[in-house]
Amino acid sequence: MAPTSVPPPLEGKKRRIGVMTSGGDAPGMNGSVRAVVRMAIHNNCEAYAIYEGYDGLVKGGDMIKEMKWEDVRGFLSEGGTLIGTARCKEFMERDGRRTAAKNMILKGIDALVICGGDGSLTGADKFRAEWPSLLEELVEKKELKPEQVAPFKHLNIVGLVGSIDNDLSMTDATIGCYSSLARICEAIDSVDTTATSHQRAFVVETMGRHCGWLTLMAGVATGSDFIFIPEKPAEPGWQENMLTIVKKHRAMGKRKTIVIVAEGAIDTELNKVTPQQIKDILSGAGLDTRITTLGHVQRGGQPAAYDRMLSTLQGVEAVKAVLEATPETPSPVICMIENKIVRRPLLEAVAQTKEVAKAIEDKDFDKAMRLRDAEFAEYFRSYQITTAADQPELLLPEKERMRIGIIHVGAPAGGMNAATRAAVAYCLARGHTPIALHNGFPGLIRHHSDEPLGAVREIKWIDAEGWANKGGSEIGTNRGLPSEDLETVAFVFKKYSIQALFVVGGFEAFTAVSELRRGREHYKAFKIPMVILPATISNNVPGTEYSIGSDTCLNALIQYCDACRQSASASRRRVFVIETQGGESGYIATIAGLSIGALAVYTPEDGISLKMLDHDIDHLRDVFLLDKGQNRAGKIILVNEKASKTYSVQIIADMIAEAGKGKFESRHGVPGHFQQGTTPSPMDRVRAVRFAFRSMEHLESFAGKSRDEIEDDPMSTSVIGIKGAKVLFSPMETIEKKETDWHRRRPKHEFWMNLKEIVDILSGRPGSPNVR
């Protein structure tokens, strides 16, 4: 029966945008719903939530509800999906999709943002392709009148990839995959300790029917002995191969064995490889072996910092894509390439994803590997090298082997040890000698007198083997610079024949390599290749948009903020003013602000003025005046430690409390060194491995060159980093001159500056931060 009412006019509003979550739930989905709703409202559109995925679209009525600004309050920190998800059989059929189209028109919705896996996105694309014919059918069947369908000729669909598996081609990360990886790594780290105590073997089964990303990354992040993934099926003889590696590790002194197996693991004949089979083999070799099946634990829990940021940025981009779409624009899916949010054609991304499964089915495993993103194959290669299997083909000829010094500089940062472990494994596989330079440059300078064991020592595989998940710095780190005594540093380099230098650290590491580079004029010993792997929670190293340790810090910080928020749930109406680290860079404060939905973020780049505080206090008054109990969990203002010399967090909190006059109260908090985190985050660990391998390859490329040739090559002192969508090396000389704000100890151009606007938009902060 044709309904009598047409959808109400938009009354000056631009669009009515629907948002839904579909398929398996993934941590971070709520962040994307929040971002879509608020960004839509900010852009003068209306936002509608479609509950329970496609089921809600097919059922219509109350399953499609308008969402107001306050309705998504608190969404960012919640796991799963608060608007529900379902697998919907009806939507697989054309009749179901026709009913869905009718329900959308009845609600006046002509744009749909869908957060789900490849199945959900396939359904979305089909829906869009059929849309004109579905409308025709609705008119033919007299379910809707021509004038009712007329304004809805074009349907905009935008996909967001929400899936723990990270199985969609064309994006490096899906919403939820890093949270899931965090759950897996927590579990394996726990199993690890008991395995070591009892000298046991554990076979851990992880999710991933068609995609081995979680398993591979868990293997890299935890330093497991062996992994099984669908894309790289177990070759004939895998049983002996696995045992050889496990026995070799044991012979080298390892007390535990961890094997990770994806639920979709297969051999080259496509037979399933099961945890029980693996257990039987390990038990048969005399190892006390247990199986741990992680199951749905991997889906649950709070989203990690990265997923909160990713889902937020993708939700924002989705609304932009809706508003910019023309009838000709192909439906996009919002992707992440390294550090850049990009739009890709949804149809192609889904088609390429399906090709992986097909390639596996066709036993074309090389193609399956190629079809995953480039990172995947790189991580697999890195993983294989770290397992220390006998790989004689990797050994370099004698004359190309180098003595590579490894040094940590600056404050400890999550991932420093993982990077060192990977560098050591790489060196040993290639025939290089990895040499730890203990306790930074001051360690070297004092090495004759103070260090009983000497500050310069070769690292054996077993020394570094357990460092994959260790926080801090196992070889010791120090802020001191080589300029304290360049001559002694040169003497030590010469004495120990250091032929290449791998420096892990933050801005001090950058400064140190700059000093060594300039010291080449006087000291021949410095005419060696040097690479910096940026490692600092502040993420302020020029030449990269990402430093290892910054993700661990963000996760520690959001935990702290979540706990503060929760503590306010009883007292209500409380504003927390929290001081973050970050030196002269507002990166940590801003990204944490994005990840927790801070009311405001104060950075050194913008400073703090009385007018700004006044403005924000006015805003708080408005927020609490309108409050009908929604602000149960408190508000947060994040203040970088160097944002102002005058306004400390305590002063700001006191000013807010004074202005609140009993209507709202305020507390300040200083998480301090808590922000360095405990166990490094999986993202920091895996990126540490990837960057360390690349750095070693880079250093190795100078083997056999004369000292003068090395000096003349600008790439002989460089920084590895992520810039936009690429991982690359940048020459120190250029970065020092053109990209470094030496006075402020940060890059001149900070890529994240425009993200502050998004923090403000999504928290509803009016007109800041330009209020001075």
Q: Could you tell me the end-to-end alpha-carbon distance of the chain, in angstroms, rounded to an integer?
A: 59
User: Which residue's CB is nearer to ligand ATP, number 88 or number 710?
Assistant: 88
Q: Residue 339 has which token pair? A: 């550090």
214-241 burial, b at 16+ Cβ within 10 Å, e below that, comes to: bbbbbbbbbbbbbbbbbbbbbeeebbee
Query: What are residue 666's DSSP bridge partners?
Result: 575
User: Which residue's CB is nearer to ligand ATP, number 213 or number 493?
Assistant: 213
| Smallest separation, CB 472 to ligand ATP (Å) | 37
Q: Pairing state of beta strands 332-337 and 340-345?
A: antiparallel
103 neighbors 91 (Cβ within 8 angstroms): no
Q: Residue 80 has which token pair? A: 């799963």
422 neighbors 693 (Cβ within 8 angstroms): yes
721 is in an annotated binding site: no
Q: Residue 572 has which token pair? A: 């209500």
| Smallest separation, CB 205 to ligand ATP (Å) | 18
676 is in an annotated binding site: yes
User: Which residue's CB is nearer to ligand ATP, number 63 or number 287?
Assistant: 63
CA 135 to CA 33: how far, in whole Å? 27
CA 430 to CA 419: how far, in whole Å? 17
361 is in an annotated binding site: no
163 is in an annotated binding site: yes
Q: Is 108 helix (H, G, I), strand (E, B) or coil?
A: coil
Which residue is at the shortest CB distance from ligand ATP? 119
118 is in an annotated binding site: yes
125 neighbors 158 (Cβ within 8 angstroms): no
694 is in an annotated binding site: no
685 is in an annotated binding site: no
549 is in an annotated binding site: no
Q: Residue 359 has which token pair? A: 């390639």
User: Which residue's CB is nearer to ligand ATP, number 91 or number 496?
Assistant: 91
| Smallest separation, CB 308 to ligand ATP (Å) | 19
Phi, psi of 756 (to 5 degrees): -60, -35
583 is in an annotated binding site: yes
Q: Is 451 exposed, middle or buried (0-12, 13-18, 19+ CB in 10 A)?
A: middle
477 neighbors 410 (Cβ within 8 angstroms): yes
In sequence order, the 6+-apart residues with CB closer than 8 A to the CB of 21 are: 29, 32, 33, 53, 81, 83, 84, 85, 114, 115, 116, 162
Q: How far is CA 253 from CA 32, 146, 246, 392, 463, in A?
A: 47, 77, 11, 21, 9
536 Cα distance to chain centroid: 16
Q: Helices (DSSP H) in 263-345: which residue ranges?
A: 275-284, 305-324
Q: Is 38 helix (H, G, I), strand (E, B) or coil?
A: helix
505 Cα distance to chain centroid: 20
User: Closest Cα partner for 719 from 739, 704, 705?
Assistant: 739
214 Cα distance to chain centroid: 13
> Catalytic one among 71, 110, 165, 172?
165
User: Which residue's CB is nearer to ligand ATP, number 7 or number 345?
Assistant: 345
| Smallest separation, CB 163 to ligand ATP (Å) | 4
Tokens 């600004």 found at: 69
674 is in an annotated binding site: yes
540 is in an annotated binding site: yes
165 belongs to the catalytic site: yes
| Smallest separation, CB 82 to ligand ATP (Å) | 17
User: Which residue's CB is nearer to ligand ATP, number 93 or number 136?
Assistant: 93
| Smallest separation, CB 98 to ligand ATP (Å) | 12
| Smallest separation, CB 378 to ligand ATP (Å) | 24
Q: How many CB atoms lie within 10 A of CB 318?
A: 30
The contact set with ligand ATP (CB under 6 A) reads 22-24, 54, 87-88, 91-92, 116-120, 122-123, 126, 163, 165
297 is in an annotated binding site: yes
CA 231 to CA 219: how far, in whole Å? 15
| Smallest separation, CB 452 to ligand ATP (Å) | 56
Amino acid in the structure at residue 531: V
CA 566 to CA 691: how far, in whole Å? 37
| Smallest separation, CB 46 to ligand ATP (Å) | 25
481 neighbors 745 (Cβ within 8 angstroms): no
User: Which residue's CB is nearer to ligand ATP, number 265 or number 287?
Assistant: 265
CA 457 to CA 436: how far, in whole Å? 5
User: Which residue's CB is nearer to ligand ATP, number 22 or number 386?
Assistant: 22
- The verdict on whether omega for the bond into residue 412 sits within 30 degrees of 0, i.e. cis, is no
User: Which residue's CB is nearer to ligand ATP, number 20 or number 528?
Assistant: 20
User: Which residue's CB is nearer to ligand ATP, number 64 or number 758?
Assistant: 64
Sheet containing 665-669, strands listed edge to edge, beginning at the edge strand earlier in sequence = 600-602, 635-640, 574-580, 665-669
| Smallest separation, CB 78 to ligand ATP (Å) | 18
Number of residues written out for the chain: 772
641 is in an annotated binding site: yes
Q: Give the residue ranges of the annotated binding site for substrate.
A: 163-165, 200, 207-209, 263, 290, 296-299
Binding-site residues for Mg(2+) sit at 118
What is the set of active-site residues? 165
| Binding-site sequence positions for ATP | 24, 87-88, 117-120
Annotated binding site for beta-D-fructose 2,6-bisphosphate: 479, 536-540, 574, 581-583, 641, 667, 673-676, 745
